[in-house]
Amino acid sequence: MAQRLQEFDSSIYQNVFKKQLLVKDPIDLSVGLPSGETPEYIKMAGIQAIQENKTLYAPANGIPELREALAEKFARDNNISVTKDEVTVMPGLATGLLSVYLAVLNPGDEVMIMDPGFSPYFYLPAIAGAEVKRISTLPNFQLDLDAIEKGITTKTKLILINTPNNPTGAIYPKKDLEKLAQIAGKHDILIISDEIYESFVFEGEHFSIGSIYPNTITMNGFSKSHTMTGWRIGYTCGPRDVIDAINQIQQYTVFSSSSIAQYAALEALSQPVSKHEDYAKKNRLITEKMTAAGFDLHGNMGAYYTLFEVPEGMDDMEFVQKALDKKVLLIPGRAFSTKENFVRISYGGTIEDVEKGLDIITKITP
């Protein structure tokens, strides 16, 4: 097997899921699934695409109608002005991110990534021979703009941000994103902004750094906003040369994102996105119960995650095991960070499960 497997450690997730499979009727606060099902009108569009034989290869960058609708979406929701040729469709953001890395990174280049962060961010650059520089967002899970600026070297090619954030739930304020744009501009660095949780902002408005910094690759997808995780459909916009480079990679790696999923996604864009008010309720419940139990929550603002520090005297694996003994499934923070004293709650499930889970979590002691 390839040597890169040594640098590609997905075992934490795999081991946690293996253990969890053994639990009967668990309270699942682990996986990053949104609640409910794909809305009926989107499913019908998928079925119709099949019935109309729209089931063959699509262009590597996506069907033009979808890219056109996505360009309109970027203008409307994100204040980013792009043409359909500055948009590309991807088979989900995880694969999409690899295509971006392969399109822009040379061996030896550095990618600056906020820690804690979505696990694949840290492992995929190695495939392109690039290095990762982690910038801690502790203690409040916000951007440490001084550390970012100080960490920039001549090798820094990309800065990757994710707001609302998985796993912390933090949202970066506009003023920090403006400052980040200034820093990146001064050093001529590309920004990747993963905004897949943009519709899970419970107070105020989502702000896209791509609206003020043209050298931004804005990534988004239908998995979370439209409960379409299994359809595998994401999209990205950015400078034309970067999008062309991504398409060059996709032509031979992806060849075509699912045509059926693309027609379903096109229909998804025809209706306003849910405000996700049920998630706002779960978010407030977590703040209330965890704070009352003495936990300091910093990030719990958006997406549907919160990351909390475990009580002194234990680490994340012990905490997760104790929760598992009581049938509550959680993910240890080390899946997202070099730190080993945080645990992630995902509140994509029902409010009843979140409530039951919190009753158990708040009573766990070393």
By CB under 6 A, name the binding residues for ligand PLP.
32, 92-94, 118, 162, 166, 194, 196, 221, 223, 229, 234
Residue 146 structure tokens: 């001084």
Residue 162 Cβ vs ligand PLP, minimum distance, rounded to whole Å: 5
Q: Give 67's contacts (C-beta < 8 A, 6+ positions apart).
A: 61, 84, 85, 87, 88, 89, 235
**Nearest residue to ligand PLP, by Cβ distance, number only:** 92
Residue 3 Cβ vs ligand PLP, minimum distance, rounded to whole Å: 26
Residue 348 Cβ vs ligand PLP, minimum distance, rounded to whole Å: 10
Q: Considering only CA atoms, give the Rg of the chain.
A: 20
Residue 207 Cβ vs ligand PLP, minimum distance, rounded to whole Å: 17
Q: Distance (Å, rounded) from C-alpha 166 to C-alpha 108?
A: 27
Neighbouring-strand partners of residue 27: 328
Q: Distance (Å, rounded) from C-alpha 295 to C-alpha 303?
A: 19
Give the residue with the Cβ less far from ligand PLP, 118 or 342: 118
Give the residue with the Cβ less far from ligand PLP, 162 or 259: 162
Give the residue with the Cβ less far from ligand PLP, 197 or 319: 197
Q: H or E segment at 59?
A: none
Give the residue with the Cβ less far from ligand PLP, 157 or 344: 344
Q: Are 79 and 212 in contact (CB under 8 A)?
A: no
Give the residue with the Cβ less far from ligand PLP, 193 or 322: 193
Q: What is the 3-state secondary structure (H, E, C) of 259-325?
A: HHHHHHHHHHCCCCCCCCHHHHHHHHHHHHHHHHCCCCCCCCCECCEEEEECCCCCCHHHHHHHHHH
Give the residue with the Cβ less far from ligand PLP, 159 or 364: 159
Residue 164 Cβ vs ligand PLP, minimum distance, rounded to whole Å: 9
Residue 307 Cβ vs ligand PLP, minimum distance, rounded to whole Å: 13
